[in-house]
A and B are shown apart, each in its own frame.
Chain A
Amino acid sequence: MATTSLMPVEQILEVPLTWVPRRYIWSNYPAALIYFPFFLFLRNTMIICVFTVVATVASCALVAYGFSRISWPGRNLVFAILIATMMIPYHVTLIPTFLIYKWLRWLDTLKPLTIPALTGSAFYIFLLRQFFMTIPNDLSEMAEMDGAGDFRVFWNMILPLSKPALSAVAVFTFLGSWNDFLWPLLVLNSEDKYTLSLGLYRYIGRYSAQWGLLMAACTMVTVPVIVLFFVAQRYFVQGITLTGIKG
């Protein structure tokens, strides 16, 4: 079973070789590009991903600093609430959140897919907090004696020391946003705003029998993630262990 869990990945890439005549292989890609406006969907996805990554890292780092390096009255209680919000199934907040965007007339724009990133995400805040806690307090206390405010300490000390954790959050956020399906499905209607995941889904409906084309499209959506995975492998493992062990 350990090896079968691997198979499909290889098969995405091997599929045309084993199951379709050789001549077919490459022509599937341009064909898929025509039927499936790949570059348009890629552009939308990239806009969302880049904004989400930057906004999430920035907001989560700020908030995590507030929860780990400043001791203010009520902090532990508020942090407990943060942990509790992670346990709430998304189903509960889904419908009212959808209706908020409807009321704002933001449906069918990219805003519902980007703006919420500014408020951070409980899971990554938790992850960064765990990391910030491991940075010795003496350093920041010394800086404070010298008259540095919290923001200076945050900007000049904590952030540079936390690059690995921040990278892990960036990588996970990128992936989450690239792979997200349900939320784009709900808020986007017009095809020119589709993301890759959503586009791919609509695509199976229309060309369900043409496996060659479908596989080409799947490959194109998957390859960037695999490349990212190999480039950033270190951060994945780090990020997961950071949450797993302390969980």
Chain B
Amino acid sequence: MGIVRLSPRVRRKLRNGLLFTSPWLLGTLIFTIYPIVASLYYSFTDYSVLASGRWVGLLNYRVMFLRDERFYTALKNTLVYACLLVPMSLTLGISIAALLNLKLRGMGIYRAAIYLPTVIPAVAASIVWLWLLDPQYGVANDILRRLGAPTIGWLSDPKWAKPSLVLISTWGLGTTVIIYLAGLQDVPVSLYEAAELDGAGVLRRFRHVTLPMLSPTIFFNLVMTLIGAFGYFTTVFVLTRGQGGPVDSTLVYSLLLYNNAFVYYKMGYASAMAWILFIMVSLVTYLVFRSSGRWVYYGGGG
């Protein structure tokens, strides 16, 4: 036998290790490994729940790339959303975290206030936003009117719909901010003192001390924000009643996938869409990881 003989102690460790991890091992087999294989298989079939699983080869993928305009619309919307959201969450997240890192009285309250929105159920928050951004009765336009500014069609104007989504996402930036804050608090004070002695001003200290020391945190948040942006669903679904309107301007990838699978019952086609998404997310994550070597700085214990 090619198997290495294990000592009784090691064998006992192995048995216990597997025993303790068995809930997850079983769960992963049933709810992750099997679904991945099944999903890949479905993506090559014409699976519609009623008439199940006729093998169609690459047809789903061919239709998606060559004939489905909504696929490109959804892809574009998701990418635009991600491209607006990522810089926004990066700059705003770090700025807010820096403000929250100041030593002021009652800082605990401000920190709690920033995080609070992220715990509110997405459905409830979306409904409130629907009301805030209502073109006629909403608070947002009411403020604009009082300022004498022209009102905006927020969610009803295709031009404004995506920026509105980004605005809503910004509101839920709490988790990102707290992670930046934790990162900021890890920067050794001695570094700032040393920089100050060398005559570095606030901006230079930020540029040459804070940013490099924060880069692992920025990297983590960047990856998480990207993955989140690709999976963006509940808010758009509630705001647009599952339609992705107006005129498909908020039809994000997840929404189209959901509609294909559970409204039109094109499960095979939706599986193919899921795989394309999977490949894209992996690719983007990979690129971010690859580039990270150049800008992420891991200090001593990092």
Which residues of A are interface residues toward B (Cβ below 8 A)? 1-2, 4-6, 8-9, 11-12, 15, 59, 62-63, 65-67, 70-75, 78, 81-82, 85, 87-100, 102, 116, 118-120, 122, 125, 149-150, 154, 175, 178-179, 181-182, 186, 196-198, 200-201, 204-205, 211, 214-215, 218, 221-222, 225-226, 228-230, 233, 236-237, 240-241, 243-245, 247
Contacts and interface: CB of A to CB of B under 8 A. Distances in A.
Nearest to A92: B274
A128 B292 CA distance: 27
B178 A8 contact: no
Contact of B230 (A89, A97, A211): A89
13 contacts: A2-B114, A8-B129, A8-B171, A65-B20, A82-B24, A88-B278, A95-B35, A119-B31, A149-B16, A197-B122, A218-B128, A229-B115, A245-B182
Contact of B30 (A12, A95, A119, A179): A119
B277 A89 contact: yes
Interface of B: 6, 10, 13-14, 16-21, 23-28, 30-32, 34-36, 38-39, 42, 49, 92, 96, 99, 111-117, 119-125, 127-132, 137, 139, 170-171, 173-175, 178-179, 182-183, 186, 217, 220-221, 224, 227, 230-231, 233-234, 237-238, 241, 254, 257-258, 261-262, 267, 270-271, 273-275, 277-278, 281-282, 285
Given A70-B20, A87-B282, A225-B121, 19 more contacts: A11-B132, A15-B131, A63-B23, A71-B13, A89-B277, A94-B261, A95-B42, A95-B270, A96-B34, A98-B261, A116-B31, A119-B24, A182-B233, A196-B121, A204-B127, A228-B119, A229-B112, A229-B119, A243-B179
A166 to B, nearest CB: 16
A66 B174 CA distance: 32
A62 B16 CA distance: 11
A88 B32 contact: yes
Given A73-B6, A236-B115, A240-B178, A119 B28 contact: yes
A205 B241 CA distance: 8
A12 B128 contact: yes
A120 to B, nearest CB: 5
Contacts of A94: 35, 261, 274
Given A218-B124, A240-B179, A8 B17 contact: no
A5 B117 contact: yes
Contacts of A2: 96, 99, 114
A89 B31 contact: no
Contacts of B27: 116, 118-120
B117 A9 contact: yes
A95 B122 contact: no
